Chains A and B, each alone.
Chain A
Amino acid sequence: MTAGLLAHQLFIDPLPVGPGLAWTLALFLPLVAGVAVAYKTIKLTNLAHVPGQALRLFIQITLFMAAAAFLLAGFAR
C-alpha cells in the first residue's frame, strides 16, 4: 500500500477512484462548481454578481442531474 502510494506520480498516473457515493460527489461537485463559475464569469458584465449567480447555477445543475439520475434509475429497474 505504502509502496504503491510512493510510486504514484501526480498528474501522470490516475487517482485510485473507487465506487460509492463519496467518490461520486467528490469528483462531480468540483466539476459543476468549475463550470458554473467559468460560465458566469464569461456571461455576466458585473463580476460582483458572479458568486451569487454561480451558486444558483451550481444548485440548478446539481438538482437537475440528481433528478435525471433518479429518472434513469427508475427506467432501468
Chain B
Amino acid sequence: MPPDALAPTAPAPSGPAERRAPAPPRRGVVISVAAAAAGWVLPGLGHLLAGHVARGLLLATTLGSLWLGGLLIGGLSVVDRQADPAWFLGQALIAPSLVADRYRARLVAQHRAAHPDAPGGRLVPADTPPFEPSFGRARELGTLYTSLAGLLNLLAMLDVVYRPAPRTDGFRLPGATP
C-alpha cells in the first residue's frame, strides 16, 4: 500500500457552484481584535478599517445617533457609573461613554468643592448643580438609548471579528489578505 493511501484527502467538489466559490479571505487574529477595539472607540470604525465601508458608515450613523440621542434626551446625568452601575456596563461598550462619565464626575467634583456644605449623594435641582439632573421618563429613555447603543456595538464588535475580509475594493488593515 503506498503511504499516500492513508493520508486524508480533501473532498472533491460535488457541484459547479461549489467549484466556483473560492474560500473567503481570512484576517489574522491581531487584525480582527484591533478592528474590534477600533469599533469600541468609535462605532463602525472597525468595519471601516476592515474594508466594510458601507456597513461601517451605516453602523456609525445608527449607533452614533442612538448614543447621542440618549444624551440629548436625558442629558449628561444618564451616564453615571456610581448611580447606575448595571446600566453603565452596557453604556461602557461604547468608549465615549467613559469620557462622558469622566466629564460628568469632574463637573460634580468641582461643584462639591465649591459648595462643601451641600449634602452628598445624587445631585438634585435644589443644589444648583452645573448641569440639570434628569429624572423620570427623560432619564429612563436616555439611559435606554445609550445602553442599547452600547449593547448593539458589542454585536458590531463581534461581527467585525468573525466577518471575512471583503473581496471588493476598500482600504484594508495591513496584513489583511485579499
List residues of chain A with CB under 8 Å of any chain B CB. Answer: 9-17, 19, 23, 27, 30-31, 34-35, 37-39, 41-42, 47, 50
Which of A9, A16, A39, A42 has its CB near the most chain B CB atoms (within 10 A)? A42
Determine if B155 and A42 form an interchain contact, defined as CB atoms under 8 angstroms apart.
yes
Determine if B76 and A17 form an interchain contact, defined as CB atoms under 8 angstroms apart.
no
Question: Is B175 interfacial (CB 8 A cutoff)?
Answer: no
Question: Quick one: closest B residue to A17, CB to CB?
Answer: B138
A59 to chain B, nearest CB (A): 17
Determine if B59 and A42 form an interchain contact, defined as CB atoms under 8 angstroms apart.
yes
Q: Which of B66, B71, B139 contacts A34 (CB 8 A)?
A: B66
- Consensus secondary structure, chain B interface: helix
A17 with B155: in contact, given A11-B71, A34-B65, A38-B66 (CB under 8 Å)?
A: no
Determine if B148 and A31 form an interchain contact, defined as CB atoms under 8 angstroms apart.
yes
Determine if B72 and A15 form an interchain contact, defined as CB atoms under 8 angstroms apart.
yes
Question: Quick one: closest A residue to B130, CB to CB?
Answer: A12
Number of interface residues, chain B, beta carbon within 8 A: 36
List residues of chain B with CB under 8 Å of any chain A CB. Answer: 54-55, 58-59, 62-63, 65-66, 68-69, 71-78, 131-134, 136-139, 141-142, 144-145, 148-149, 152, 155-156, 159
A9 to B134, CA, bound (A): 13
A23 to B136, CA, bound (A): 13
Determine if A17 and B137 form an interchain contact, defined as CB atoms under 8 angstroms apart.
yes
Determine if A38 and B138 form an interchain contact, defined as CB atoms under 8 angstroms apart.
no
A23 to B138, CA, bound (A): 10
**Chain A residues within 8 Å of B68, by CB:** 11
**Chain B residues within 8 Å of A10, by CB:** 72
**Chain A residues within 8 Å of B69, by CB:** 30-31, 34
Determine if B138 and A15 form an interchain contact, defined as CB atoms under 8 angstroms apart.
yes
Which of A16, A35, A41, A42 has its CB near the most chain B CB atoms (within 10 A)? A41
A37 to B72, CA, bound (A): 20
**Would you list 16 pairs from A and B whose C-beta atoms are within 8 A, ordered by A residue?**
A11-B75, A11-B76, A12-B75, A13-B131, A14-B75, A14-B77, A14-B132, A14-B139, A15-B73, A15-B138, A30-B65, A31-B69, A31-B148, A34-B62, A42-B159, A47-B58
